[in-house]
Every structure is written in structure tokens, then in C-alpha cells.
Amino acid sequence: MVARDNMLGNVVQLSMAGVPMMDIVKGMRAKFIEITAYVKNREDIKKLEVDLAAAVRNPGEYKKI
């Protein structure tokens, strides 16, 4: 709900500032892709941190991370 309202507000502000609608749409799409990649990378980092902690506690069961 809040994200939708925020996006709509951004579109209104950008269009009032003279930014063409096609540029707004392209920019929003590019940022969505960046955000999706960021979230995936953070999930991967968290998993690696868990694996590293497990490897430190159990060096006999160490697997290459």
C-alpha cells in the first residue's frame, strides 16, 4: 500500500518536473531490477554467513564455501 502510493507520488513529481513518461517507466523498471538483484545478493550473503559460522564451529565438517 505504502510502496504503491510512494511510486505514484514519484511519478507525479517527476512528470510535473517535465520528465517524459517513457523515461519514468524505463527508470522505474531499471530500479526494480536493481532492487531484485540486491535482495537476492543479500539472501546469498546471509546464507554464506551461516555456512561460515557452521564451518568455524565444526572444522571437521568444513566444506569449501
Question: For the segment 4-52, what is each residue's pLDDT rounded down to a tens digit?
Answer: 999 999 999 999 999 999 999 999 999 999 999 999 999 999 999 998 8
CA distances from 35 to 10, 22, 24, 40, 58 (A): 17, 20, 16, 9, 35
* Cβ atoms < 10 Å from Cβ of 34: 10
Give the separation between CA 20 and CA 6, rounded to whole angstroms: 19
> C-alpha grid cell for residue 7?
511510486
User: 9 versus 1: which is more confidently predicted?
Assistant: 9
Whether residue 57 is predicted with pLDDT greater than 90 in this model: the reply is no
Q: How is the chain split into domains, by residue range? A: 2-61
Whether residue 61 is predicted with pLDDT greater than 80 in this model: the reply is no
pLDDT for res 19: 97
